[in-house]
Structure 1
Amino acid sequence: MRDTVTAAFQSVPVIDISGLRSADYGERERVAAELGTAAREVGFFYVAGTAVSDELFERLLAATKDFFALPMEEKMKSYIGLSTCHRGYVPVGEEGLYGEPAADLKEAFDTALDLPADDPDHLAGNPMLGPNIWPDITGFADTVTEYYQAVLGVGQDLLWAFAVALGEDPDMFTRHTTKAPSQLRLIYYPYNPDAKDAQGIGAHTDYECFTLLKPTAPGLEVLNGAGEWIDVPPIPGTFVVNVGDLLELWTNGAFVATSHRVRKVAEERYSFPLFFNVDYHTVVQPLPQFADGPTRAALVAGEHLFAQTAQTFAYLRSRLASGELVLPEGSLEVGTFGQQAAPNVRPIVEISPTTIDNPHARRDSP
């Protein structure tokens, strides 16, 4: 694996991506090249010109505020631990990264591709595909779904552009997005007058291809190549985009899954990341053009997402500890991508030559 090194940047670039919708292919290539440069040098950038309306975002924000204002007993009716495919309410302290002792000071509500209850993958026990859980709030499901679909469209444009920037077939990545477990999180950081040393979310990379983020207040910080944490404040009319683990793997480190965190959230803050993924069973490994040196082993996109999630959420960690749940073979420890990656990346579950038909099947507790 190539060294994952970014520039010693002091700010994050802003890229107008409206040209990706141009009838002029040369204009689309120009924007793709600009995105590729940012992915290589920074791993983080803002995108403007997305055509996602401010009106839709304001409706999403209002619906989110309605949910988090509910009494705790009402929110817990949608508790994520009640879901069979990782959807629903995430209370304070449920989530933790890299074994850090401080709990993340946030609440969240997790959604993804809303599949019917009789979806065959869901019925087969896929841990990340299935129906969403929706609270009993008028219009909540419709608004969240409308926003999800709008931002997912922006993600399709970006994924196309990354393939073009790499000189690959333009459909190299998008052909793998027929039923992807891309997740939308609604996150709430409460007012915190003691936020000087408070942790909103610990330092991490994202598990998917990339993330499209819309926050309402400052707090996001990104690690540059000099080891400095750089503020990434909201800019009106933009989304923040960061490269995730899978694009880093596909490019063997040429695109960097830059480490980031949320800290010092003094004011009330809402944050809406959409984690853009490819289909669950997509095998991700360095492209041939990046295979001229040390390379990392292939991962299955959905299995990587599930394994990282299972090591992060308390309700899943308890099932792992009890033996009720097992990780897919070849699963990696959390924190093996980006600048803070472990120097010797090894699976925590060794890969065997035997193909497992259902690697997520629960084994009976003793």
Structure 2
Amino acid sequence: MSESKISIDLESYPPIFRQLNIQTQRFNDQPVEESEPIPIIDLHCLNPGELGKACRDWGLFRLVNHGVPSTLLSQLHEHAKRLFSLSFESKQKIFTTPLSYLWGTTAITTSGTALMTGLQNIHWVEGVHFPLNQLSQFQTEDPILASFRLVLEEYGEHLGRLATTLFKAMAVELILDPEESKSHLVESTGFVRVYRYPLRSMANSPWGIEVHTDSSVMSILNQYEVGGLEVLKDNEWLQVKPIPGTLIVNLGDMMQAISNDKYKSVKHRVRLNKHYERISIGYFVFPDEGSVIQSSKYRPFTYSDFRAQVQQDVKTLGFKVGLEKFKHTQASSP
């Protein structure tokens, strides 16, 4: 499906996104490779060896024959567009607990802090956080959000199935202890983040989200028509082009630790588009809060430990350090 331009309603964006009008500004960013030899994994004939190779070499792959109806994928996109087209003030009202509305940041605990920290420190992205295990209890009088909730619940069931199936195959390939690995990926931890990225001409940076790794076990992305995702492979940045009907799976920090660094938590970023808004829908899933990750590379830790350390590092250092904080330190020889 080809991209189609959409009209931009500035009132639908957070106030800080409306402050710039720099369409003539040029950014000195390096172009990325046009080719993308990204591994393709077919869920219908899932081969642990092929899956393991993709996880070791890339930390990312394109998933086909995943069983998520194409009509559902397009419905998600259309519902997301309607939600984001509402005025900023309306979105602040309807996105109530347990949902979280965020802009200028990817951390829900600091949503809106970009308004205080200034244009130099923000991410050029607007998003909504949907905890899937709480959606059935969520009540809203807004018909657009109510309809989207139903579609998301159906989508969440599909994504939980995909994540569980893929993780079981990874556990087989890594020869993980079956009982121990059961708590390393738990469907009830899954949530969906729906992101909207503005036109590049609205921002003072070419990046919607700068270089990072996910903290999850794995993330599953539906980026639909408009691309922008770039991944680091062998010190080169590659575009991950949107291909209708496929999903992108990338591994996070928890999977790298669980695999004892055999698999990689892939570094990625999102580039803003010059002509089109970009909407992406990401699913993230984690270990059980108390599940202890044991490996020779890291001291034992839980996801709760990891999350607390990340929050502390962001607060004190301004960025996420991640797994480096949990690596075993080598004792000096006497």
User: TM class by shorter-chain length?
Assistant: 0.7 to 0.9
How is 1:1-366 mapped onto 2 (pairs within 5 angstroms)? 11-20=37-46, 31-78=47-94, 83=97, 87-93=99-105, 95=107, 101-115=120-134, 136-137=142-143, 138-169=146-177, 172-178=180-186, 180-193=188-201, 197-216=205-224, 217-225=226-234, 227-266=235-274, 267-286=276-295, 291=296, 295-305=297-307, 307-308=309-310, 334-337=320-323, 345=325
Residues 109-153 of structure 1: CA deviation (Å, up to 9, x unaligned): 101232399xxxxxxxxxxxxx66867234121111111111111
Work out the CA distance in 2 between the residues paired with 1:148 and 1:309.
Answer: 26
Residues 74-123 of structure 1: CA deviation (Å, up to 9, x unaligned): 111255xx74x6x3211235659xx9944211111101232399xxxxxx
Work out the CA distance in 1 between the residues paired with 2:204 and 2:240.
Answer: 17
TM-aligned CA deviation for residue 10 of structure 1: 5.8
What code does the residue aligned with 1:304 have? Answer: F
TM-aligned CA deviation for residue 165 of structure 1: 1.0
Q: Per residue, is there more helix in 1 or in 2?
A: 2
- Give the conservation status (yes or no) of the 8 Å contact 2:102–2:127: yes
For the residue of structure 2 that corresponds to 1:15, the secondary structure is: strand
Work out the CA distance in 2 between the residues paired with 1:196 and 1:235.
Answer: 29
Structure 2 stretches of 5 or more lacking a match? 1-34, 111-116, 328-334
Structure 1 stretches of 5 or more lacking a match? 1-8, 21-30, 118-130, 322-332, 348-366
- Give the conservation status (yes or no) of the 8 Å contact 2:59–2:266: yes
What code does the residue aligned with 1:300 have? Answer: T
Q: How many residues align?
A: 278
Work out the CA distance in 2 between the residues paired with 1:276 and 1:94.
Answer: 16
Structure 1 consecutive aligned stretches of length 4 or more whose deviation exceeds 6 Å: none
Match of 1:3 in 2: none
- Give the conservation status (yes or no) of the 8 Å contact 1:78–1:88: no
For the residue of structure 2 that corresponds to 1:180, the secondary structure is: strand
Residues 139-195 of structure 1: CA deviation (Å, up to 9, x unaligned): 121111111111111111111111011123456534555563222101111233467
Identity over aligned pairs, percent = 27
- Give the conservation status (yes or no) of the 8 Å contact 2:135–2:149: no
- Give the conservation status (yes or no) of the 8 Å contact 1:107–1:189: yes
For the residue of structure 1 that corresponds to 2:133, the secondary structure is: coil
